Amino acid sequence: MEWEAVIGLEIHAQLATKSKIFSGASTAFGAEPNTQACAVDLALPGTLPVFNEEALRMAVKFGLAVDAEIGKKSVFDRKNYFYPDLPKGYQTSQLFEPIVGIGHIDITLEDGTEKRIGVTRAHLEEDAGKSLHDEFPGMTGIDLNRAGTPLLEIVSEPDMRSAEEAVAYVRKIHSIVTSLGICDGNMAEGSFRCDCNVSVRPMGQEELGNRTETKNINSFRFIEKAIVGEIERQIDLIEDGGRVEQATRLYDADKNETRSMRSKEEANDYRYFPCPDLLPIVIDDEYIEAVRETLPELPDARKARFIEEYKLSDYDAMVLSADYNMAAYFETIAKASKDAKLSANWVMGELSKLLNQNDLDISSSPVNADQLGGLLSRIKDDTISGKIAKQVFEVMWIEGGTADEIIEAKGLKQVTDSGAIEKIVDEVITNNQPQVDQYVNAEPDKRGKMVGFFMGQVMKASQGKANPGQVQGMLKKKLDALTG
């Protein structure tokens, strides 16, 4: 039987506010446990929340960027459940009246097809703290630094039909929130994470199958793997005569499989009700228009500009414009080197290769855009060849430093002194008499290809530093002179 997957996603984007959504404590990542949790975050008796309006502005920005209805009145609700890292015993969220209503985005798949994906809603809520299970044998530690960090939960329509579409959607949302500057997009630190709702049904069937929700996946790769795996698992289960249980599952990246966390029977009744400690948020058109004025360039507009301004191919422009940080990186080096094509090749080639190998995000690249821009400038002004540049780049990646420093220290400057080049060329011709004879005796139209051998020898002898253009010209001249 042919099966169709139905996928809907919930993305939690941590908003890049300086302080928490309902308290004045800092939201910076990585501090000592419980040093960024104030009385409100600890839910001390008698404390009350005060809404951080910066979070509102960010949520409205997102709503405008996905062409959504903005809630003129939105209300915070309490989602009640007990967990040690949830200090109040409820999460303050928005169920009944969210700040962002129905919107949509367009995704582009690898084969170029476009698809519109609905955004059901996006609402503001507070993050929980963290339970630390490994550090204290027989006990659990609670770190409340993250408790109260503002989150925008972005809920999609179940419009996606494959893992590829799902990843394209997540990437697009990632691109939008980072472009808007409302989320740092750092998936490794949990600033941007995704819950995947997956179900399968026989192709052509209208009714949806039972779905599972896989929680808190924090990389694009894992999202793809988790969805592919979950679709397969569900199809196998049904084809073997079983049925999919509605359940919450966890993705185990080490084993590349999802496993059940809790079934629907154990599901909580969250007893949502409007939070009596917070007033409804009421905004008017004037507020919304003022926020619209501050919207920066969004990914689709940026892609169009890259094609126009940098003459990039459609594909290159799509890849480079998708991630806000990558786009900014690309533009910095393109401006420094004044060669957009070269810059695009380097970002999508060498840089991306090393980033992927090391599982790094471009925002945490060891080589920053200024460094790489400097390196490309040295290619452009013939200080080094493209090949040497790769060596310099590898040194830069590991040891740091500017291109000029590394070229200087390692003596990698390209040799353009024609006397020095001529000396090496002469040596190579002298030392390779059989090949010279072959060249001389060959048909003239075959000789062009044969120059390559001598080129290789000269470059090898110069340790790659000889200017290839000069070498080529000189070799041709000297060899052709020998043919009489």
Neighbours of 307 (CB within 10 A): 16
By CB under 8 A, is residue 402 in contact with another protein? no
CA distance 287 to 97: 18
Q: Among 28, 31, 102, 279, which residue interacts with another protein (rule: CB under 8 A)?
A: 279
CA distance 154 to 125: 11
* Burial degree of 297 (CB within 10 A; 0-12, 13-18, 19+): middle
Lay out the site mask for another protein across 427-466 (x = CB under 8 A, - = otherwise).
Answer: ----------------------------------------
- Least Å distance between CB 133 and another protein? 11
Nearest CB to another protein, comparing residues 274 and 468 = 274
By CB under 8 A, is residue 301 in contact with another protein? no
Q: Which residue has tokens 């698809």?
A: 115
- Least Å distance between CB 62 and another protein? 23
Q: Which stretch binds another protein (CB under 8 A): 52-60, 195-203, 276-284, 401-409?
A: 276-284
DSSP state, residue 414: P
By CB under 8 A, is residue 206 in contact with another protein? no
By CB under 8 A, is residue 346 in contact with another protein? no
Q: Which stretch binds another protein (CB under 8 A): 78-86, 117-125, 325-333, 446-454?
A: 78-86
- Least Å distance between CB 265 and another protein? 14
What single string gives the DSSP state of each residue in 76-118? -EEEE---TT-TTSEEEE-SSS-SB-SEEEEEE-TTS-EEEEE
Q: Among 18, 28, 35, 44, which residue interacts with another protein (rule: CB under 8 A)?
A: 44
Q: Among 13, 15, 21, 42, which residue interacts with another protein (rule: CB under 8 A)?
A: 42
| Interface size with another protein, residues (CB under 8 A) | 29
- Least Å distance between CB 224 and another protein? 34
CA distance 184 to 182: 7
- Least Å distance between CB 45 and another protein? 4
CA distance 414 to 467: 6
CA angle 187–212–192, rounded 5-degree value: 10
Nearest CB to another protein, comparing residues 273 and 315 = 273
What single string gives the DSSP state of each residue in 341-388? HHHHHHIIIIIHHHHHHTT--GGG-SS-HHHHHHHHHHHHTTSS-HHH
By CB under 8 A, is residue 362 in contact with another protein? no
Lay out the site mask for another protein across 153-172 (x = CB under 8 A, - = otherwise).
Answer: --------------------
By CB under 8 A, is residue 102 in contact with another protein? no
DSSP state, residue 189: T
* CB 226, CB 196: distance < 8 Å: yes
Q: Among 31, 53, 84, 239, which residue interacts with another protein (rule: CB under 8 A)?
A: 84
Task: Give the residue from 444, 468, 286 showing the smallest Cα distance to 382.
Answer: 468
Q: Among 26, 29, 50, 233, which residue interacts with another protein (rule: CB under 8 A)?
A: 50
- Least Å distance between CB 82 and another protein? 6
By CB under 8 A, is residue 273 in contact with another protein? yes
- Least Å distance between CB 347 and another protein? 47
DSSP state, residue 186: -
| Torsion angle in degrees (nearest 10) through CA of 337, 341, 343, 347 | 180
List contacts with another protein (CB under 8 A).
39, 42-51, 78, 80, 82, 84, 87-90, 140, 142, 269, 271-273, 276-279
